[in-house]
Structure 1
Amino acid sequence: MDANASAHAAALWAGLHLILLLVLSVLVTRQRRKHHVEIGDGGVPALNQAIRAFGNATEYVPAAMAGLALLALVNAPPLLIHPIGAILFAGRLAHAIGLSRSTSATLPRALGVLATWISYVAIAAALLFYAIP
């Protein structure tokens, strides 16, 4: 297995997730400036939603990125890393869109959570598989 190809696969998904986090962060900043709120949510629902969309992504993305990086380190094939990264990214994007549009339970939020959990299970199972010599 080409370790370099595995690292490139993990790097792709880390880069895309960092861009997603940056976009969500910019959306929080825009709401803060629009409503003149420096800390907290100021009781502004749109700001609270932006904060939670960013916060939720920061709660899930780092651990998944660490898992993908470890999979690259143990030379997991890119054909394993890419689908997991894609499912996670699609899930995180769907969740962020759903949460940004509504505080209610929505289909994008539900699909986002499901995709995230599937990714977590896949990463955990793959790491356990590669941990056994």
Structure 2
Amino acid sequence: MDTITSGHAAALWAGLHVFLMLTLSLLVVRLRQKHKVSLGDEGIPELARAIRAFGNATEYVPTGLIALVVLAVVGAPPLAIHVAGFVLFSGRLVHAVGLSSSGGASIPRALGMVATWLAYIFVGVALLFYAIA
């Protein structure tokens, strides 16, 4: 029963991350249409930030989702998957908002990265625990 429930927990966070990625992608497309840019950012800061927010998410989300799925496969408790999924999703969302608002350093960007790293550390430790336990 825990594996099924863990799988549902992983599915929830995977689904939410898919919609986060879709939203970030749509923001890039909207700005490309608005500024009539088909490739690159043509020096438009708003577009550059949107591209980078999507790119940054594509760099961090896949590894996090793979870790969540593997945790479900090895039978980690659903609560562990929900905690990791929530922290990762919150971190990616806050980081994207911060990066989209400002190209410079910002509190949301910093908080988003810290949350992402905390989620990575949590799932990394949990995966190693299940590997050797």
Q: What's the Cα RMSD here?
A: 0.7
C-alpha deviations, 1:2-44, integer Å up to 9, x for none?
2100000000000000000000000000010000000111111
DSSP-derived class of the 1:6 partner: helix
Q: Runs in 1 of length 4+ with deviation above 3 angstroms?
A: none
Aligned to 1:70: 70
* TM-score (norm: length of structure 2): 0.98
1:110 is displaced (CA, Å) by 0.3
Tell me the distance in 1 between the aligned counterparts of 2:61 and 2:110: 17
What residue number does 1:117 align with?
Answer: 117
Extract unaligned runs of 5+ from structure 1.
Answer: none
Match of 1:82 in 2: 82
Task: Tell me the equivalent position of 2:97.
Answer: 97
State the SS of the aligned residue for 1:127.
Answer: helix
How many residue pairs get matched? 133
Give the aligned residue type for 2:66: A
Unaligned 5+ segments in structure 2 are none
Q: What TM-score results when the alignment is normalised by the length of structure 1? A: 0.98
**For the residues of structure 1 that align with 2:93 and 2:3, how far apart are their CA atoms?**
28
> Which position in structure 2 is the counterpart of 1:35?
35
Alignment partner, residue 51 of structure 2? 51
Post-superposition offset of 1:104: 1.0
Counterpart of 2:132 in structure 1 is 132
1:15 and 2:15 matched: yes
Distance 1:120 1:75 in 2: 18
Query: Aligned partners of 2:2 and 2:83: how far apart in 1?
Result: 17
